[in-house]
Amino acid sequence: MAKTCYYELLNVERGVSATDLKKSYRKMAMQFHPDRNPGDAAAEAKFKEVSEAYEILKDDQKRAAYDQYGHAAFENGGMGGGGMGGGFEGSFSDIFEDLFGMGGGGRGRSSRRGGPRRGADLQYNLTITLEDAFSGKEEKITIPRAEQCGDCDGSGAEEGSKPETCSACGGIGKVQTQQGFFTVERTCPRCQGQGQVIANPCGTCHGLGKVEKTKTLSVKIPAGVEDGTRIRLQGEGEAGSKGAPPGDLYIFISVEYHPIFQREGSTILCNVPISMATAALGGEIGVPTVNGKKAKVKISAGNQTGKQYRIRGKGMPILHSQQMGDMIIQTTVETPVNMTKKQKELLRAFADECGEEVSPESSGFFDKVKTLWDDLTE
């Protein structure tokens, strides 16, 4: 069966740049990766095809040979690279961090593919309230992760046996073949790059050296933590291979929306409605604070909507500090509603008595409007 053109497989044109080639491969690798399509043989086959294509086209020499001779350049002792006994692993690992983000440090490649590899990092999203962010708290979380198998101590071999050095690669994890003018190095197909083979696999982990478990951890949330803060728990990620250290666990904090308070760093904002009488005459009101108590605020006479008052030290704690932010109260003057007949009569009498002197802004505004209208009619 004729093989599909590598450029068509990756949805790119001949002459595509290395950057655009990698972008296209990244997109298709994410789409067809076996981890995202468990049990889908067609997706796995497609993933291998696009990985094989990228393995050839990312290499300038192989790409030049492919452009000139097509697939024939890699058949019958040609330059190699088409065999999928692990050849695509190199190209996929090149963009592993792009595809899976935080796993990059945890699954980094060793100078020898069969060497120990640090465990993968894990991510946990934790949502807390604004009150929790104010006071700090200790939260218990349960995470699933791969841990070192206790029965084989992570070796993957049954008790009384041990992994054997791969006879095909001599423990290096790679094999070399001479094809034309080039020496091609690829992952050893017998040990899959591990450098060792397990003749008698452990019955508990089936030769993987790891088992899936859940662990409950206690996470200390510091007072003053902000939305988007990342907390790192060193060594609480997945187990490494062959005695390598485990990865880390990263806790990402999200702070819930609060119906009363808005936060800007260490400053707390709060909109407070006040009565028309309080706004006119002034007075003292009690306002809530994030710590569940009340604070006294003195309202000045003649208060207008939008006037702000600052309360020192009633905001959020400043992270890793003994200092506190401030709280800003913004007032909204509330117009009376549902008034009785007598109240309306009193308000009309008040308005008749006051005249324009008690409302300088509105009277000044209408004076400007009147002047404008007079100018327009002349």
Q: Per the annotation, where are the binding residues?
A: 149, 152, 166, 169, 188, 191, 202, 205
User: Residue 123 forms beta bridges with which residues?
Assistant: 250
Q: Residue 197: left (phi > 0), alpha (psi -120 to 50), or beta?
A: beta
Of how many residues is the chain composed?
Answer: 378
Q: What gap in Å lies between CA 35 and CA 52, rounded to an integer?
A: 18
Distances in Å between the alpha carbon of 357 and those of 294, 352, 353, 354, 366?
36, 11, 10, 7, 13
The span from the first CA to the last CA of the chain, in angstroms, equals 91
User: Residue 221 forms beta bridges with which residues?
Assistant: 137
Looking at 58-173, which runs of residues are DSSP E strands? 122-128, 137-148, 164-165
Q: Phi first, then psi: what are they for 288, rounded to 5°?
A: -75, 155
User: Residue 184 forms beta bridges with which residues?
Assistant: 177
Distances in Å between the alpha carbon of 319 and those of 234, 252, 313?
21, 16, 14
Helix, strand, coil percentages in the chain from 3-state DSSP, rounded to 5: 30, 25, 45
* Rg of the chain over all Cα atoms, to the nearest angstrom: 35
Question: By three-state DSSP, how is residue 110 classified?
Answer: coil
CA-wise closest residue to 147 among 219, 234, 246? 246
Q: Which helix (H) or strand (E) holds 276?
A: helix 276-281
Residue with tokens 């992952």: 187
Q: Which amino acid is located at 303 in the chain?
A: N
Q: What gap in Å lies between CA 229 and CA 215, rounded to an integer?
A: 23
Instruction: Give 4's Cβ-side CA count (13 Å radius).
Output: 13
CB-count exposure of residue 204 (10 Å: 0-12, 13-18, 19+): middle
Q: What are the binding residues for Zn(2+)? A: 149, 152, 166, 169, 188, 191, 202, 205
